[in-house]
Amino acid sequence: MLAAHGLTKHFRAGQFRAGGRRVSGRSPARAIHAVDGVDLELHRGQVLAVVGESGSGKSTVARLLAGLIPITDGQVLLDGAAVRLRGRRAFRAYVRRVQMIFQDPFGSLNPVHPVRYTLTRALRLHRRQSTGGTLRGAELEAALTELLERVHLTPAARYVDKFPHELSGGQRQRIAIARALAADPEVLLADEPISMLDVSIRLGILNLLADLRDRLGIAILYITHDIASARYFADRTTVLYAGQVMETGDSESVTQAPLHPYTRLLVASAPDPDDLAGAGAAAVRDRGTGGEPPSLVDPPPGCRFAPRCPYATDVCRTETPELIEVTPGRAAACWGYSTREDRPAVPATEGAST
Ligand SMILES: Nc1ncnc2c1ncn2[C@@H]1O[C@H](COP(=O)(O)OP(=O)(O)OP(=O)(O)O)[C@@H](O)[C@H]1O
């Protein structure tokens, strides 16, 4: 449905502090290499997880795919056609097909408007184009009820006149999802949709998204720092580090038998892969995964993970590895899987957490 080839985003680093010093306006322009040459594909009726630590570029990937920020280089394709978002019309038409769900359901819903207003606005905005007339009366009520039922907020009458502050975090996120569904999208981009929710209701939201994937055939991008939830929820998983793809494959293999030394570190930092309570992700945040991600202003040459990698050799520090297909459908950007004579010796499955 949606694909990115060589997706790249460099932000201007005008405000960047180097060694505590603000880089002056007269310094040569420096760029933050937030996303560099990322390839990914979203398929109808499938979930792709993009996993990585904070600052790895996950949200930037989602914002680029949503058309919210301009891309520096690379291409986005929707149903095989190159996406060009010049002008309001083109953007609207795109957004109708590709909708985004944000992390903070309270921040993304206007507190002064009840559910009815939020959903009616979304329905009218997107459905006018397809039906020609403005949705109103019994037809509008039926559409509102259907939307609320799709996100399992039933009976709809109980929720339709509520304000965001009268709803729980999970219910608010369901309204945000309903608003996205009002456009009848083919793709949902979900940027950490459960990370701000109470642990007890996270599973419910993931199950709802899985249900939409299965029943409506929607392609879903699931951005998360929690590799355990990727295993549970996503068909395929792509691991991002310092703006580049380190590994990609079916979620079960990526999380249970990771190929890339970075993925192994991530998995090893999540003590219980079935742990949706987020303890694993918390461990990554609290203890770190050993070492720091590199500067994105001056990314190291070669593999960006090399400075932290226990197996790195000279080739890793000087030449950037391409994604190498290790088995069908599974690839790792690691010289350890190349046929080079001077490749590093990456052990077979060491670090897999089962
Ligand atoms: N508008 C911006 N201007 C400058 N730099 C930015 C901007 N947005 C993001 N960045 C930088 O790009 C890099 C990637 O950020 P991004 O938010 O995509 O990472 P992330 O993996 O989503 O992290 P988190 O999980 O903390 O949200 C970071 O170094 C960030 O500081």
Contact 123, 182 (CB under 8 A): yes
Q: Which residue has the tokens 């880089």?
A: 23
Side by side, the strands of the sheet bearing 47-51 are: 98-101, 187-191, 219-224, 47-51, 236-241, 244-250, 330-332, 324-327
> How many residues in total does the chain contain?
354
Half-sphere exposure (CA, 13 Å, Cβ side) for 60?
26
Residue with the nearest Cα to atom 24 of ligand 1?
Answer: 54
Ligand 1 centre from 294 Cα, in Å?
13
Nearest atom (ligand 1) to Cα of 191: 22
pLDDT at residue 130, rounded to an integer: 57
Residue with the nearest Cα to atom 4 of ligand 1?
Answer: 11
Contact 175, 109 (CB under 8 A): yes
Ligand 1 centre from 61 Cα, in Å?
10
Nearest atom (ligand 1) to Cα of 296: 29
Ligand 1 centre from 8 Cα, in Å?
13
Nearest atom (ligand 1) to Cα of 12: 4
| DSSP 8-state symbol, 153 | -
Which residue type, as a one-letter code, is found at position 169?
G
What would the mean pLDDT of 216-223 be, rounded to a whole number?
A: 97
Q: Is the dihedral of CA 331, 335, 336, 341 positive or negative?
A: positive
Express each pLDDT in 240-268 by its tens digit. 999 999 999 999 999 999 999 999 999 98
Contact 4, 39 (CB under 8 A): yes
Nearest atom (ligand 1) to Cα of 243: 14
Express each pLDDT in 166-214 by its tens digit. 999 999 999 999 999 999 999 999 999 999 888 889 999 999 999 999 9
Express each pLDDT in 314-328 by its tens digit. 999 999 999 999 999
Tell me the pTM: 0.89
